[in-house]
Amino acid sequence: MNQRSFLKLLAVSGLTSRLLPFTSRAQATPAPTGPFTLPPLPYAPNALEPYIDAETMTLHHDKHHAAYVNNLNKAVAPYPDLQKKTAEELLQNLDSLPAEIRTTVRNNAGGHANHSHLWKTLSNPGRRPEGKLAEEIDKTFGSYENWKEEMTKTAMGIFGSGWAWFARGKDGKLFIKPYPNQDSPLMEGATLIYGIDVWEHAYYLKYRNLRADYVTRCLGLANMKSN
Ligand code: MN3
């Protein structure tokens, strides 16, 4: 029997629907092996086309973000107490962690929390902040246009991999700051509002070395919640 008639037979017998989850879906989202799980993308991988291509989104979410989750699970596996904590709690208390996993948790809880927030704050098209947040942006940065300029400057100033984060500090004040690697404002007890991921994995397939173009597009896709 050739492949086509085999597939036809499967379709007729209704077997494909039972077989396919094991071939395609199982690979995309591995079964959870620890307390931390990969949240699904809140939209289709091509939802941000043409600005962020589907292939980049799929790799970014299914491979890079998944790896942070898996590595975090591995790191806390020998520590039942740490398995009960959220990524945010771990990041806020790095100094109290066993020294042998501190850097791994910093990188991977950071990667997990940063990306989990990122997916939720992108839409195509983006949306200008409204209400209280819009007022605070105007008050703190002068205007939304100035805010965008400050985000761009910060993202472009990062040497190597990292993030430009717009966040609210423990003191309630808004700020924009660069963070290396997967460091996160969460480490300082701040609340994430909007981040630009300037790791090359976030843009290199489409934008190559043109980080500035990618950063401009990210700002166009920003859809911040008013927190
Ligand atoms: Mn990333």
Give 80-97 pLDDT, tens digit per residue. Answer: 999 999 999 999 999 999
Mean pLDDT of the chain, nearest integer: 89
Quick one: average pLDDT of 197-203? 98
If you measure from the C-alpha of residue 101 to the centroid of ligand 1, how many angstroms do you get, rounded to a whole number?
Answer: 21
Contact 80, 157 (CB under 8 A): no
For residue 96, report the distance from its CA to the centre of ligand 1, in Å.
Answer: 26
The Å distance, Cα 19 to ligand 1 centre, comes to 32
CA distance 105 to 99: 10
Answer whether residue 63 shows pLDDT above 60: yes
* CA 131 to ligand 1 centroid distance, Å: 29
Encode 91-129: b = buried (16+ Cβ within 10 Å), e = exposed: bbeeeebeeebeeebbbbbbbbbbbbbbbbbbebebeeb
Distance CA 195, CA 178 (A): 10
Phi then psi for residue 31, to 5 deg, are -60, 140
DSSP secondary structure letter of residue 223: B
Determine the Cα–Cα distance for residues 172 and 148; give it in Å rounded to an integer.
Answer: 20
- What is the predicted pLDDT for the residue at 6? 41
**% of the chain beyond a pLDDT of 90:** 84
| Residue 38 Cα to ligand 1 middle (Å) | 14
Tokens of 116: 């989990």
- Please give the Cα distance from 157 to 142 (Å, whole number): 21
Asked whether the beta carbons of 65 and 111 are under 8 A apart, the reply is yes
Going from the Cα of 14 to the center of ligand 1, the distance in angstroms, rounded, reads 39
Q: How far apart are CA 189 and CA 94, in angstroms?
A: 12
45 CA distance to ligand 1 centroid (A)? Answer: 15
Give CA–CA dist 80/89, Å, rounded: 15
One-letter amino acid for residue 37 of the chain: T
The helix/strand/coil state of 29 is: coil
Indicate the range of 15-29, 52-66, 92-106 predicted with least confidence.
Answer: 15-29
Ligand 1 centroid to 53 CA: how many Å? 14
Residues in Cβ contact with 101 at an 8 Å cutoff, skipping those fewer than 6 apart: 75, 76, 79
Q: Does residue 104 surpass a pLDDT of 90?
A: yes
Closest Cα to residue 70, out of 14, 112, 130, 99?
Answer: 112
**Gap from CA of 214 to ligand 1 centroid (Å):** 13
Kindly give the distance from the C-alpha atom of residue 16 to the centroid of ligand 1, in angstroms, as a whole number. Answer: 34
Tens-digit pLDDT profile for residues 135-187: 999 999 999 999 999 999 999 999 999 999 999 999 999 999 999 999 999 99
Name residue 96's beta-bridge partners: none
Compute the distance from residue 202 Cα to the ligand 1 centre, in Å.
Answer: 5
Distance (angstroms) between ligand 1 centre and the Cα of 77 equals 24
The predicted model gives 180-198 an average pLDDT of 98
Mean pLDDT for the stretch of residues 38-57: 98
CA–centroid distance, 111 to ligand 1, in Å, is: 7
Which tens digits make up the pLDDT trace of 19-45? 444 434 444 455 557 899 999 999 999
